[in-house]
Amino acid sequence: MPEVVLAVKWLLVALVIIAAVPLLVADYQFLLVAFHFRRLHYTKCRPYFPRMAILIPAWNEHAVIGASIDRLMRLQYPRERLRIYVVDDASTDATPQVIQAKAAEYPGSVYHLRREKGGEGKAATLNHGLEIILGDDWMQAVLIMDADVIYVPDSLRKMSRHLADPKVGSVTAYIKEGSQPGNYMNRFIGYEYITAQAAARRSQDVLGVIACLAGGAQLHSRENIEAVGGRVDTSTLAEDTVTTFRTQTAGRTVVFEPHATVWAEEPGSIVGLWKQRLRWARGNVQVTKMFSHVWFRHQANSRLGSFSFGLLWFCLLLLPVFMLTASGSLVVLYFVDSSLAWTAFHALWLTNVITYVFITSFALLIDPVIGRRTWVQAVLFPGAINVLILLAAVIPTPLYWLSHQVMNAAGFTTTSGWVHGIELFTYIWLAACMGVAFLGKVAEPRRFGKFLSPLFVYIGGYGPLLCAITTAAYVKEFRGADQTWDKTEKTGKVAAPT
């Protein structure tokens, strides 16, 4: 019997320690960024201006599409080599009229492709446009973008220069959150994009494999788009990731160009974020299943099967599982052997401190302009209580002293019961923070929601909120829930900083 208890104890400790793996993998990913300068593709670049078809799927985009077309016509790209095809997915607002006015303003450069029967999602809309564009041989490269994104004038040519290398099939850009003036949610996303785009895609570049072309900035050579079947996937919610994988399994390279900037309007509310990210997270679960033959297996043409890439992919996908398992294990361990639980927790949180300090400081330095706007959200990314726990892991004595003083001032005496209660709370919080962040979504549409929902996110954490969304995606996918394309609402509040 004692052997069984001992085995259970060590199993629980192992489950806690395993939760440090995604943290270490995140550190590894950011360390790779430092080596990006050694793997740059610029030696194979040159000024290159293929005949470019810009494909824009549009459904009720009248607020943004006109200005988008105007900006595209001002790109630093030869006008005669640029055509804009707007696929109007049976819009019910003034979108067709706006596009037709722009087609008249820019004859031979802007084309209105109308779908009379819409509502089949972005992938079906893109396929309608791709079929027409591929129907003649004018197009040499196609840029797939969203209706609202803002391409900085030099961005497209900075992307297209990589296509001078025939081995390159696709190029993506650095998408930045550009809502003006923007709220707390936009700033969280702004910081998140430094980590998820500027850093993660650089590290993937170093590994020689890209997980996903940004949906709003996918540049493909004609050869590539034809090689992947001339259409994008309609069976999943992550058509951009599927295209990225297929490009690489076919032996073509995907390049991230960090100096091509594209500004995008991202959700300004938890409900909007939830809809968008649930789609992305479900899409990732579907891609994981679709490419099950690829993971951790040597691939002749690509590095998609490499151990490093698999580790990055699955650590992100399974992060909520790691958090829930570690929390549950710590709670059980607390009742079996509380001192062992404390030791395991301490080891996990010291790893957490290292990761938090390294990633936060490095991310803010990677893009200092965005960093200046989002540093508060960067610091509070894991949530205020988690930041307090991190502080307690680094400077325990002053914080214990402070908590004593606060308790005494409030008229409480610090007893061992209180200490054990706080200890147990911190173990539970590891998972409960996701629930608290989720409460922000529940509160948002209700009374006082405007005040309460940011509070829940700041306390629970934006990172835990994303984990909660991923958990919801598992559940939806497991239940086989309907796949609906919940379009992110755009209002045209995005602007490129001057």
Partner 1 sequence: MGQDRKDREGGGAHVTVPARGDDPSNPPAPPGGGIAENGHRPQPPAETPAYPGAPPSAPSFEDEIQDAVEYERGLAVKALLALCLVALVLVIRVAFFG
- Interface residue with partner 1 among 103, 164, 250, 388 (CB under 8 A) is 164
What amino acid occupies position 73? M
* The one segment of 16-24, 346-354, 459-467, 487-495 that binds partner 1 by CB under 8 A: 346-354
> Between residues 46 and 117, which has the closer beta carbon with respect to partner 1?
46
Q: In this structure, are strands 52-58 and 253-264 parallel, antiparallel, or unpaired?
A: unpaired
Closest by alpha carbon to 251, among 227, 215, 271?
227
Pull the structure tokens for residue 79.
Answer: 């006008």
Spatial contact of 28 and 58, defined as CB atoms under 8 Å apart: no
> With binding defined as CB under 8 A, does residue 44 bind partner 1?
yes
- Interface residue with partner 1 among 14, 78, 297, 497 (CB under 8 A) is 78
Closest by alpha carbon to 183, among 262, 273, 261?
273
Place of tokens 């809309």: 125
Pull the structure tokens for residue 355.
Answer: 């990761």
Q: Is 153 helix (H, G, I), strand (E, B) or coil?
A: coil
Minimum separation from the CB atom of position 357 to partner 1 (A): 5
Where residue 108 falls (left for φ over 0; alpha for ψ -120 to 50; beta otherwise) is left
* The one segment of 228-236, 312-320, 356-364, 427-435 that binds partner 1 by CB under 8 A: 356-364
What amino acid occupies position 50? P
> Between residues 76 and 301, which has the closer beta carbon with respect to partner 1?
76
Minimum separation from the CB atom of position 40 to partner 1 (A): 6
> With binding defined as CB under 8 A, does residue 109 bind partner 1?
no
Closest by alpha carbon to 202, among 180, 223, 174?
174
What is the footprint of partner 1 within residues 358-377 (CB under 8 A)?
A: 358, 361-362, 365-366
Spatial contact of 31 and 363, defined as CB atoms under 8 Å apart: no
> Between residues 49 and 456, which has the closer beta carbon with respect to partner 1?
49
What amino acid occupies position 48? Y
**Burial letters 93-106, b for 16+ CB under 10 A, else e:** eebbebbeebbeeb
* The one segment of 144-152, 305-313, 347-355, 422-430 that binds partner 1 by CB under 8 A: 347-355
What is the footprint of partner 1 within residues 189-208 (CB under 8 A)?
A: 202
Q: What share of the chain is helix, strand, coil (3-state, %, to 5)?
A: 60, 10, 30
Check the CA dihedral 477-481-482-488 and report its sign: negative
Give the integer Cα–Cα distance in Å for 319 and 325: 10
> With binding defined as CB under 8 A, does residue 48 bind partner 1?
yes
Over the window 256 to 295, marking each residue x when it contacts partner 1 by CB under 8 A and - when it does not, the resulting string is --xx------------------------------------
- Interface residue with partner 1 among 17, 24, 28, 154 (CB under 8 A) is 154
> With binding defined as CB under 8 A, does residue 353 bind partner 1?
yes
> Between residues 202 and 441, which has the closer beta carbon with respect to partner 1?
202
> With binding defined as CB under 8 A, does residue 43 bind partner 1?
yes
Over the window 80 to 99, marking each residue x when it contacts partner 1 by CB under 8 A and - when it does not, the resulting string is -x------------------
Give the integer Cα–Cα distance in Å for 340 and 453: 37
- Interface residue with partner 1 among 11, 14, 31, 475 (CB under 8 A) is 31
* The one segment of 61-69, 307-315, 375-383, 388-396 that binds partner 1 by CB under 8 A: 388-396
Give the integer Cα–Cα distance in Å for 42 and 462: 36
HSE-up (13 A, CA, CB side) for residue 102:
26
Give the integer Cα–Cα distance in Å for 110 and 96: 12
Minimum separation from the CB atom of position 160 to partner 1 (A): 10
> With binding defined as CB under 8 A, does residue 34 bind partner 1?
yes
> How big is the chain, counted in residues?
498
C-alpha dihedral (176, 144, 109, 82), degrees to nearest 10: 80
Over the window 209 to 238, marking each residue x when it contacts partner 1 by CB under 8 A and - when it does not, the resulting string is ------------x-x---------------
What is the footprint of partner 1 within residues 395-414 (CB under 8 A)?
A: 395-397
Minimum separation from the CB atom of position 43 to partner 1 (A): 6
> Between residues 194 and 472, which has the closer beta carbon with respect to partner 1?
194
Minimum separation from the CB atom of position 363 to partner 1 (A): 9
* The one segment of 12-20, 389-397, 402-410, 445-453 that binds partner 1 by CB under 8 A: 389-397
Minimum separation from the CB atom of position 237 to partner 1 (A): 32
Give the integer Cα–Cα distance in Å for 294 and 291: 5
In the chain the first and final C-alpha atoms are separated, in Å, by 70
Place of tokens 């996937």: 233
Return residues touching partner 1 (CB under 8 A).
Answer: 30-31, 33-37, 40, 42-51, 76-78, 81, 140, 154, 157-158, 161, 163-166, 202, 221, 223, 258-259, 350, 353-354, 357-358, 361-362, 365-366, 393-397
